[in-house]
């Protein structure tokens, strides 16, 4: 399931992050790529191990964890491996799929996300393109918005032809490994919330809630 979430970050949060990144040290993005992705990765990333990176990762993770749509659709167990990436003119990231296991703890990547940190008016090109079996779709969202997509997909970032693209990318190990099971839970949860808003706590609401809970017991890891 691919979906976008608007306004994950407020204007104040975006301004604070952008201000701190203006003076930050960025390094070659190939340092965090897998052996084959290094061949097509051409961007910059906030230096690993810096106090600023730790500070920004904590801030962004907390905001994402509080987002109800993200929680309901993704069922995160661990949000991990956040990278603050910068693409200057001429930079891109060719077609690749994300590593299945990441970091020293070998956390699984079930779901990927890209959180846009600056306005699409500030750069040309730089679209995130997600491929499917017979089509592909490009995403270039407003600052503060986030696109969420399966880590198993082939995807790329088209060449930035003007300006600078700033994003946060990250990954999630979900409580529910199987994407189709997560979608079933999301549909049921969405339906019961709509039912509760319209009719309150009814016997039908209780039955759907029971099914959501029991499916989580069956599928959660």
CA dihedral 130, 88, 125, 120 (to 10 degrees): 90
The answer to the question of whether 96 is labelled as a binding residue is yes
Element (H, E) at 131: strand 128-131
DSSP-derived 3-state class of residue 21: helix
Task: Pull the structure tokens for residue 178.
Answer: 């199987």
The answer to the question of whether 155 is labelled as a binding residue is yes
Task: Give backbone dihedrals phi and psi of 36, rounded to 5 degrees, phi first.
Answer: -90, -30
Residues 6 or more apart from 217 whose CB is under 8 A from it?
A: none
DSSP 150: E
Helices (H) and strands (E) counted in the chain, each on its own, are 5, 16
Separation CA 192–CA 116 (nearest Å): 31
DSSP-derived 3-state class of residue 67: coil
Separation CA 100–CA 138 (nearest Å): 23
Separation CA 93–CA 156 (nearest Å): 6
Binding residues: 96, 98, 155, 165
Binding residues for Fe cation: 96, 98, 155
Binding residues for 2-oxoglutarate: 165
């Amino acid at each position: 399931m691919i979906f976008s979430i608007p306004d994950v970050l407020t204007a104040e949060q975006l301004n604070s992050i952008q201000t701190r990144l203006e003076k930050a040290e960025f390094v070659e993005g190939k340092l965090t790529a897998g052996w084959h992705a290094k061949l097509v990765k051409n961007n910059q990333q906030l230096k690993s191990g810096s106090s600023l990176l730790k500070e920004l990762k904590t801030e962004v993770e907390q905001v994402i964890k509080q987002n109800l749509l993200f929680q309901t659709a993704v069922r995160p167990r661990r949000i991990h491996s956040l990278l603050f990436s910068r693409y200057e003119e001429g930079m891109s990231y060719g077609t690749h799929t994300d590593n299945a296991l990441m970091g020293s703890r070998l956390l699984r990547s079930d779901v990927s996300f890209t959180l846009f940190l600056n306005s699409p008016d500030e750069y040309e090109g730089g679209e995130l393109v997600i491929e499917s079996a017979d089509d592909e779709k490009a995403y270039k969202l407003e600052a503060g918005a986030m696109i969420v997509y399966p880590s198993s997909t082939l995807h790329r970032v088209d060449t930035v032809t003007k300006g600078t693209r700033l994003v946060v990318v990250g990954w999630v190990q979900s409580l529910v490994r199987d994407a189709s099971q997560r979608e079933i839970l999301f549909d049921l949860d969405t339906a019961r919330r709509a039912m509760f808003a319209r009719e309150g706590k009814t016997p039908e609401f209780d039955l759907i809630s029971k099914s959501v809970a029991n499916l989580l017991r069956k599928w959660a890891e």
